[in-house]
Amino acid sequence: MSNENEDETPENPLREELPEEVPAAAEEPEPEAAEENGVPSLSGRQRLGKGLWPPRVSRAQLIVAVLLFGLGFGLAVQVASNSDGDSALRGARQEDLVRILDELDSRTQRLEDEKQGLEDQRTELENSSNQAEEARKQTVEKEKQLGILAGTVAAQGPGITLTIDDAKGAVKADMLLDAIQELRAAGAEAIQVNGVRVVAGTYLADSGSGVKVDGNKITQPYRFKVIGKPQDLEPALNIPGGVVQTLEKEQAIVTVDRSTKIVVDALRPAERPDYAQSSSR
């Protein structure tokens, strides 16, 4: 006899009945709901911006920032200035750089020669049997040298003639002064410009279509007679970015001629000082 309950599956007593619905996790209130509750809703980006602006800067921080800005600006200006000053040498040709080095060596040698000459004079004074006569000779020689430097006596010797033809009138007093300074640095011992003797106190100023040298007006072509070592004077004027290139940029025609004999005969009157007196006894 069949059992009617055989087809029925016995219930598992260990099986638990799952809940019909799992409660969802608590969700953040929608922006609309937050606004309804009176609390403004902000996104993450808005909250970040609100935290960064407006910046909260103390007075000390502001002072430090200004000082750092000034320091950075000064360093930038210094670097730019050094770059501009070195640009001419960086773009120079190898032979130009060699010539500049030779000029520096020549200047060093001149200083060494002057030092040696002074030491020889001291030795002669110390060893001479007639120190008074030797001192007198050296005094006369020194007087001649000082007369050349002061422009009170004429001078002659090897050197160069620098001619500047400025048909357009673009060459100014400061450019001629740069030429004089460069010549002095290269060892010029006597300089004459268009009949005016150049000395330590010489000044130049623009004057209409020309230039005044110590109050004397000169016009182009400007002619410099310079006594010194030609092998030093000419390269000093032709260095990259130097006197010749600067004048040629103003469309002036510049020529430099070497000579074994240059005569500088323009004289300056000897002026007696009003107050200064010799301190030697």
* pLDDT tens-digit series, residues 138-150: 788 888 888 888 8
pLDDT for the residue numbered 13: 46
Q: Which residue has the higher pLDDT, 149 or 16?
A: 149
Complete edge-to-edge strand list for the sheet that includes strand 204-207: 204-207, 210-213, 216-218
Distance, CA of 264 to CA of 154 (rounded, Å) = 6
Hey, which residues does 224 pair with through a beta bridge? 162, 193
Name the CA dihedral angle for 64, 66, 67, 72, rounded to a multiple of 10 degrees: 120
Task: Examine the pLDDT at 3 and tell me if it is beyond 80.
Answer: no
Pairing of strands 253-264, 155-165: antiparallel
Distance, CA of 102 to CA of 250 (rounded, Å) = 28
- Residue 176: inside a domain, yes or no? yes
Percent of the chain with pLDDT over 90: 36
Task: Examine the pLDDT at 15 and tell me if it is beyond 70.
Answer: no
- The CATH number of residue 223's host domain is 3.30.70.1880
Q: Domain check: are 72 and 176 in the same one? A: no
Q: What is the mean pLDDT of the chain?
A: 79
With beta carbons less than 8 A apart as the criterion, state whether 256 and 238 touch: yes
Model confidence at 130, pLDDT cuts 50, 70, 90, reads low
Largest CA distance in the chain: 168
- Residue 90: inside a domain, yes or no? no
Task: Examine the pLDDT at 98 and tell me if it is beyond 70.
Answer: yes
Task: Examine the pLDDT at 54 and tell me if it is beyond 50.
Answer: yes
With beta carbons less than 8 A apart as the criterion, state whether 151 and 197 touch: yes
**What average pLDDT does range 200-207 have in this prediction?**
92
pLDDT for the residue numbered 229: 94
Q: Domain check: are 74 and 162 in the same one? A: no
Distance, CA of 127 to CA of 245 (rounded, Å) = 51
- E-strand stretches of the chain: 155-165, 190-193, 196-198, 204-207, 210-213, 216-218, 222-227, 253-264
Model confidence at 26, pLDDT cuts 50, 70, 90, reads very low
Q: Domain check: are 161 and 222 in the same one? A: yes
Task: Examine the pLDDT at 171 and tell me if it is beyond 70.
Answer: yes
Q: Which residue has the higher pLDDT, 216 or 79?
A: 216
- Residue 49: inside a domain, yes or no? yes
Least confident range of 4-18, 131-145, 218-232: 4-18
H-run or E-run covering 62: helix 59-90
What phi-psi label fits residue 194: left (phi over 0), alpha (psi between -120 and 50 degrees) or beta? left
H-run or E-run covering 34: helix 31-36
Least confident range of 75-79, 85-89, 166-170: 85-89
Six-digit token pair at 77? 């200006």
Residue range of the domain that includes 62:
43-85
Least confident range of 49-53, 138-142, 177-181, 252-256: 49-53
Q: Domain check: are 163 and 53 in the same one? A: no
Q: Which residue has the higher pLDDT, 94 or 37?
A: 94
Q: Beta-carbon neighbour count of residue 200 at 10 Å?
A: 8
Six-digit token pair at 19? 């809940």
With beta carbons less than 8 A apart as the criterion, state whether 196 and 207 touch: no
Task: Examine the pLDDT at 250 and tell me if it is beyond 70.
Answer: yes
Q: Domain check: are 160 and 80 in the same one? A: no
**What average pLDDT does range 237-261 have in this prediction?**
94
Model confidence at 25, pLDDT cuts 50, 70, 90, reads very low
pLDDT for the residue numbered 65: 77
Q: Domain check: are 160 and 246 in the same one? A: yes
Q: Domain check: are 49 and 184 in the same one? A: no
Q: Amino acid letter at 13? A: P
How do residues 225-237 score in pLDDT, each as one tens digit?
999 999 999 999 9
Q: Domain check: are 170 and 64 in the same one? A: no
Q: Beta-carbon neighbour count of residue 29 at 10 Å?
A: 13
Q: What is the DSSP string of 188-230?
A: --EEEETTEEE-TT--EEEETTEEEETTEEE-SSEEEEEES-H
Distance, CA of 263 to CA of 257 (rounded, Å) = 14
pLDDT for the residue numbered 2: 46
- Residue 52: inside a domain, yes or no? yes
Task: Provide φ and ψ at 85, rounded to 5°.
Answer: -70, -30
Q: Domain check: are 112 and 53 in the same one? A: no
Task: Examine the pLDDT at 12 and tell me if it is beyond 70.
Answer: no
Q: Domain check: are 113 and 246 in the same one? A: yes
Q: Domain check: are 54 and 165 in the same one? A: no
- Residue 146: inside a domain, yes or no? no
Q: Name 269's Cβ contacts closer than 8 Å, sequence gap at least 6.
A: 152
95 secondary structure, DSSP code: H
> Total domain count for the chain?
2
Model confidence at 52, pLDDT cuts 50, 70, 90, reads low
Q: Domain check: are 207 and 242 in the same one? A: yes
